[in-house]
Structure 1
């Protein structure tokens, strides 16, 4: 459990007891598992409540609505990834290419994990338009932004001690997640493309650009 148990609250603002905390975690775990399966069908809060063996009222008490549930899922996944916790980040050294490879490899690993698959399924299920997304899922949109910002900060950390052009670093930060999602889509489609070669080419290109 990643949240501090002493401060964990329900959507109504009430402090959760041990049983309430366990129920909340079970709902989060099941929601993440269902998202990771990515069946392509819309995932409802009722299905998650049913699989957790609780009522819709219990889920509503914990998270308020589906927006609150998805936001809590993203907060949980951000915590699990470690991208928001600099204290556990590894020491970095080596060439620019070595460091870029570490970034790319870390994201490749995350995207291939159940947690990463859950995020991508959730992202695909949200409205495409930013205005509609903010209107219908304001909490989820904010949590998704924090999830992505945590990764951007981690990427910046890998290059922070090198005398590099700040604008180029910013552009690389924007490029890597987009490029890696594209390569990962080929993996999810069981493409015959040489995915390792694509990742190495991406890394080589970025290293040359940063030089």
Structure 2
């Protein structure tokens, strides 16, 4: 199913290949962390395409960035698919933390971070200038919370606390991953264990 507002084109083999090349080129460029890589024109030139080709495939730069984000979401999958639905609470929390610890250093995650750094910080401004991109990011947030709710299904904990935990885990893990990338001054295995213990204690406290 296509994203709302995106330009529809009759599929053909060459056009599909061009679209795929653009998306992969964008992810490679963005993953370098270079602020200058957040340019659809530059990415198009890197693969010998034109701005007109980008517009033909994605409509505009907003449609392009939304498609890039959607590509990473498709590859990422959902948390429930990666957690054991029969495992006890502590094991489920530890699994999610491990997933983020590894995932946030992946190429796609680096690309997303670089793109987000270049986008407007204010939600209103982001939605005004990049409505499709904003909608894709919003769907991520909603999907992440839904994934965490499913990951903790059939466990007797307060649903509101699960929402709170789902909201702060990504930011907390970005901090730990940042320490890892900078050359940690602390034992990060201990940090992950401490975060797991804190989350488990908080969720168990609602029983």
TM norm structure 1: 0.88
- CA offsets 1:125-160 (integer angstroms, 9 cap, x no match): 211111111111111111111123222222222111
**Aligned 8 A contact 2:9 2:57 in 1:** no
Asked if 1:82 corresponds to 2:64, the answer is no
SS in 1 for 2:120: coil
| 2:46 match | 51
Displacement after TM superposition at 1:187 (Å): 2.5
Taking the aligned partners of 1:110 and 1:119, their CA distance within structure 2 comes to: 12
Taking the aligned partners of 2:102 and 2:47, their CA distance within structure 1 comes to: 28
| 2:177 match | 184
SS in 1 for 2:104: helix
Taking the aligned partners of 1:182 and 1:90, their CA distance within structure 2 comes to: 23
Q: How many equivalent pairs are there? A: 203
| 2:121 match | 128
Asked if 1:107 corresponds to 2:97, the answer is no
The verdict on how the C-alpha distance between 1:37 and 1:22 changes in structure 2, with shifts beyond 3 A counting, is same
Bigger Cα displacement from structure 2, 106-115 vs 69-78: 106-115
Instruction: Give me the CA root mean square deviation.
Output: 2.1
Displacement after TM superposition at 1:16 (Å): 1.9
TM norm structure 2: 0.90
Asked if 1:153 corresponds to 2:184, the answer is no
